[in-house]
Amino acid sequence: MLTNKNLFFLIIQAQIGIGILGLPYILYNHVQQDGWMSLLIAGVLAQGIIIVLVALSRTSPKETFYELNLRLLGNVLGKIVNISYVLYFISFSLLLMILVTDVINTWILHQTPRWAIILMLLIATSYIAKERILTISRSFLFFSFWFIVLIFLLILVYPQDIHFGRLQPVGSNSFTEIIKASPDAFVSLIGFELILFIMPFIKNPKKSLMVLSIANLFTLMLYIFLFITCVISFSGVQLSLIQAPLLYLFRGLSFEFVERIDIIFLSFWIVPISTTLVIQLFNASLGVQKLFSIQRKKSVYLLSFILLCLGLLPINLTMTESLSSIMIYLNIIFVFIFPALLLIIAKLKGIKG
């Protein structure tokens, strides 16, 4: 059974991934140096959603979300919802894979074909995703070592040429604009919906809300720290140009015995990125297991195969961009609106029953 520690690392690994590379760029383009406020708002929003999700999963802690759907919505409607959730996870994973291969292709391996990277990624992630959730969480704990490395490297940026004044003027954007930018920040905080699917495996469900909040806080703090570091070390126009500011920060960093930290960092940052994919695969495979009643291991393989085939499709820049803008809304629907509706249904049924 998952202890609080296990749950914490599961959630932060599910949250932090590819999004962190481009987050400061996206936020800066919307609201300039006030991006940290949008982050805070997104964090508060995420916290609210966490409360909803936990409340929902507590209505029947012995069921996964898919089982809950079937029970509350009936067989037909429940199945449709379950299928759409599986599709959501598949498209999320697909977007993730495309973004990863794009970043790798621009920064490190320029000629390596997309399928090779995707194949490698899927072999590694399905190897992890087919394990029990406890094993997954325990290996995530080891992978969390990279967060310490990240924080350490970010601190190393500070002795470089930075200027704190770039954070000023505070609040130059209107409040509505800051709120408008928060969905973009929210995408990077996604991942806590995992709680819906792992509630039956948690040893201490009562503490889950607290653990999730701490995990969310950790992620939020890391993002804000990153955003501030980026703003103070890049000048305005520069930050609005660089698509992966986190990597560019490290590109300028060099030491006596090693140069080009960005290459090393990105290569190994693949691990936290893959963990997000592992979680998506895990969520989807639970659904496939429920829908077609096959072994979870096999459903992971099936999903990986589907993803590999999808990854082989020729996807260009505009398609990626439209997919990511659609995903922003899908995220809110699937992570927030639908669970909230379900919670209301569950409460109504609870009152009737």
Tokens of 196: 């819906």
Judged by CB under 8 A, does residue 121 bind another protein? yes
Give DSSP secondary structure letters for 140-197: HHHHTHHHHHHHHHHHHHTTSS--GGGGPSTT-S-HHHHHHHHHHHHHHHTTGGGHHH
| Sole binder of another protein in the list 96, 128, 178, 281 (CB under 8 A) | 128
Q: How far is the CB of 125 from another protein (least distance, A)?
A: 9
Q: Is 120 in the site for another protein (CB under 8 A)?
A: yes
Q: Which of 44, 48, 158, 203 binds another protein (CB under 8 A)?
A: 203
Are the CB atoms for 236 and 244 separated by under 8 Å? no
Per-residue DSSP letter, 73: H
> Which is nearest to 48 in space by CA: 325, 276, 279, 335?
335
Map residues 289-318 to x or -, x wherever contact with another protein holds by CB under 8 A: ------xx----------------------
What is the pattern of x (binds another protein, CB under 8 A) and - over residues 71-100? ------------------------------
Residue in 82, 219, 274, 331 binding another protein, rule: CB under 8 A = 274
- Measured between alpha carbons, how far is 220 from 42 in angstroms, rounded to an integer? 9
Q: Which CB atom, from 45 or from 117, has the smaller least distance to another protein?
A: 117
Among 60, 87, 91, 143, binds another protein (CB under 8 A): 143
Signed CA dihedral, 270, 275, 279, 284: sign only: positive
When asked if residue 34 is in the footprint of another protein (CB under 8 A), the reply is: no
102 binds another protein (CB under 8 A): no
- Work out whether 263 is an interface residue with another protein (CB under 8 A): yes
Binding of residue 8 to another protein (CB under 8 A): yes
271 binding another protein? (CB under 8 A)? yes
Q: Residue from 48, 80, 169, 326 that binds another protein (CB under 8 A)?
A: 169
Distance (Å, whole) CA 226 – CA 230: 6
- How far apart are CB 320 and another protein at their closest, in Å? 19
DSSP reduced 3-state for 202: strand
* 110 vs 206, beta carbon nearer another protein: 110
Q: Binders of another protein: how many residues, by CB under 8 A? A: 70
How many whole angstroms separate alpha carbon 246 and alpha carbon 21? 5
How far apart CA 317 and CA 312 sit, in angstroms, is 15
Quick check: 159 binds another protein (CB under 8 A)?
A: no
Whether the CB-CB separation of 14 and 236 falls below 8 Å is answered with no
